[in-house]
Structure 1
Amino acid sequence: MKFNIQSEIIYEVVSPTTFIFNIHALRTNSQQIITESLTLNPPIDVEEFSYNSGAGRFLRLESIGNTTFSIAYSATVDTNYTVFDQRQEFQTVPVAKLDGEIIPFLFPSRYCQSDKLQKLAYKEFGSIENIYSKVLAITDWIYNNVEYVSGSTNSGTSALDTLTERVGVCRDFAHLGITLCRALSIPARYLTCYAYTLQPPDFHACFEAYIGGNWIVFDATRLVPLNSLVKIANGRDAADAAVANIFGNATSTSIKVSCELADDNFTPFWYNENVLNGFSIQ
């Protein structure tokens, strides 16, 4: 499936500021970038870099002060999802056999305090033997127990806050899913993406769980089909995969995001049908 993605962010910059952006589509075995362009106004030298085994394409740039600055990215991306039948028996990979690069996704992190939710996780989901069914039960529980309300949380909201307040946005739903998985010794990671049919249009977040040697995507918000996602980055939580980090004095005044079909070959798959869709950066 091909998607046309676009994003534009405008800032009022008060004093010299360094930005680190994370808005490019990721190049993976299952996600090919056909064309892409980047526009900076005013023009600024930019450096692209990556870390964490290439789990994101980061841009670093410096803006002068007392100016209006904008960054715009567009691309056509061809995605090729791996489809798994949710009824198949997934083999649990024990922690003792996990590859070293997977291990960090078991640890508590800034927004995912899995060490504090183990009692709840085992009480609610510990008796479920099939690992896929366990993660699906976590996803269902979040959907049924946390209300999705736009603008209800902020950049400091953690999974523990979301569990307490029972309200959040996609970022919070993802953090809670990651936290409950890790509390049950299931590696899980954050996913930032563009999403077709998301209303209102914006960047989207969900999570991936490591099941049977595969990173499989789950979205407790149920806002978009799982095969409508264009991956931007992975991380332990939003701190690793934020769209923008600002070091200085600047305020965002406008954010525009779009993700549209570039062809007619699209049959939506929702998480609760007989298939689930995931893709990996490996």
Structure 2
Amino acid sequence: MKFQVNSEIQYQVLQPSTFILDIHALRTSTQTILEESLVVDPYLRVEEFSSAQNANRFIRLEVVEPMNFKITYKATVDTLTRVIDQKQEKGVVPVVQLDGDIIPYLFPSRYCQSDKLQRLANNKFGKVENTFAKVVAITDWIYENVEYLSGSTDSQTSAYDTVTERAGVCRDFAHLGIALCRALSIPARYFTAYAYNLNPPDFHACFEAYIGGHWIIFDATKLAPLNGLVKIANGRDAADAAVASIFGNVVCQSMQVSSEVLEENFEPFFYDSKELKALSYE
């Protein structure tokens, strides 16, 4: 499915500052970038790089004097999702059988304190045998028990805070889903994306759980179709996949994000609790 994605961010820089941004669509085996452009106005030199841990496409730019500037990213992206039947998948893959690159997604992290949520996770979801159904139950519980409330949290809010306050935004919903999965020995990772039909338009955060050898996508906010996502980044949590990391004195003046489907036969996909059909971007 082809999508046209766009992001435009304007900054006021008050003193020399360095920006590390993560707004490029990923290049993966199931996501092909057909066209893309990045424009900085006025011109500033931009360096693209990836970390050793993942394929996230970071850009770095330095502003040496006070100024205003705008950065615009546009891309046409072709995504391929796979529907996987989870009816025969009964239990968690034993940790001893997991590949080494999956293991880090079992550990507690800065925003996903799974070690603090083990009792809650086991009490609420421990008796669900099928792992996919278990994670669907987690996302449904978050959706039903945490209010989506813009402006209710900040960059310090963790999964433990969210389950206590029972309010948050997509970032917080994703962190809580990840933490509850890890508390049940299910590897889970953070996922940022451009999301089709998201209202209001913005960068979107959800999560993936490793089930039956596949990374399966979940979104506890239920604000966008699962097959309407263009992946930007993965990480243990938002610290690994922040849209913007800024070192200096900067004011974000505006941010506009959009995603449009370019094909007429798009059919939105959401999970039905009665059907064990999973969706993977891998």
Give the structure 2 partner of residue 112 of structure 1: 112
Deviation at 1:86, TM superposition (A): 4.4
The answer to which of 43-52 and 214-223 deviates more is 43-52
Is 1:235 matched with 2:238? no
Deviation at 1:55, TM superposition (A): 3.2
Give the structure 1 partner of residue 132 of structure 2: 132
Verify the 8 A CA contact 1:105 1:236 in the aligned structure 2: yes
**How far does the alpha carbon of each residue in 1:17-56 deviate from its partner, in whole angstroms, 9 at most, with x for none?**
1000000000001000000000001111111111144331
Verify the 8 A CA contact 1:63 1:69 in the aligned structure 2: no
Which secondary structure does the structure 1 equivalent of 2:18 belong to? strand
Give 1:104's aligned amino acid: P
Give 1:242's aligned amino acid: A
Q: How does 1:181-220 map to 2 (within 5 A)?
A: 181-220=181-220
Give 1:79's aligned amino acid: T
Give 2:257's aligned amino acid: V
**How far does the alpha carbon of each residue in 1:172-215 deviate from its partner, in whole angstroms, 9 at most, with x for none?**
00000000000011000000000000001000000000000100
Give 1:103's aligned amino acid: I
**How far does the alpha carbon of each residue in 1:54-96 deviate from its partner, in whole angstroms, 9 at most, with x for none?**
3310001101222001111000000010112343425532100
Q: How does 1:55-70 map to 2 (within 5 A)?
A: 55-70=55-70
Instruction: Provide the C-alpha distance between the structure 1 equivalents of 2:37 and 2:62, rounded to a whole number of angstroms.
Output: 19
Give the structure 2 partner of residue 159 of structure 1: 159
Q: How does 1:25-64 map to 2 (within 5 A)?
A: 25-64=25-64
Instruction: Provide the C-alpha distance between the structure 1 equivalents of 2:52 and 2:261, rounded to a whole number of angstroms.
Output: 30
Instruction: Provide the C-alpha distance between the structure 2 equivalents of 1:71 and 1:88, rounded to a whole number of angstroms.
Output: 47
Give the structure 2 partner of residue 278 of structure 1: 280
TM-score, length basis structure 2? 0.96
Which secondary structure does the structure 1 equivalent of 2:12 belong to? strand
**How far does the alpha carbon of each residue in 1:125-183 deviate from its partner, in whole angstroms, 9 at most, with x for none?**
11111111111111111011101111211111100000000001100000000000000
Instruction: Flag structure 2 segments of 5+ consecutive residues without an equivalent.
Output: none
Which secondary structure does the structure 1 equivalent of 2:227 belong to? helix
Verify the 8 A CA contact 2:193 2:233 in the aligned structure 1: yes
Give 1:89's aligned amino acid: E
Is 1:23 matched with 2:23? yes
Verify the 8 A CA contact 2:90 2:129 in the aligned structure 1: no
The answer to which of 82-91 and 147-156 deviates more is 82-91
Instruction: Provide the C-alpha distance between the structure 2 equivalents of 1:186 and 1:231, rounded to a whole number of angstroms.
Output: 21
Alignment: residue pair count: 280
The answer to which of 99-108 and 259-268 deviates more is 259-268
TM-score, length basis structure 1? 0.96
Verify the 8 A CA contact 1:269 1:276 in the aligned structure 2: no
Give the structure 2 partner of residue 13 of structure 1: 13
Is 1:85 matched with 2:102? no
Which secondary structure does the structure 1 equivalent of 2:180 belong to? helix
RMSD of aligned alpha carbons: 1.2
Verify the 8 A CA contact 1:50 1:57 in the aligned structure 2: yes
Taking only the aligned residue pairs, the percentage that are identical comes to 65
> CA separation of 1:161/1:177 partners in 2, compared to 1, >3 Å: closer, same or farther?
same
Deviation at 1:3, TM superposition (A): 0.2
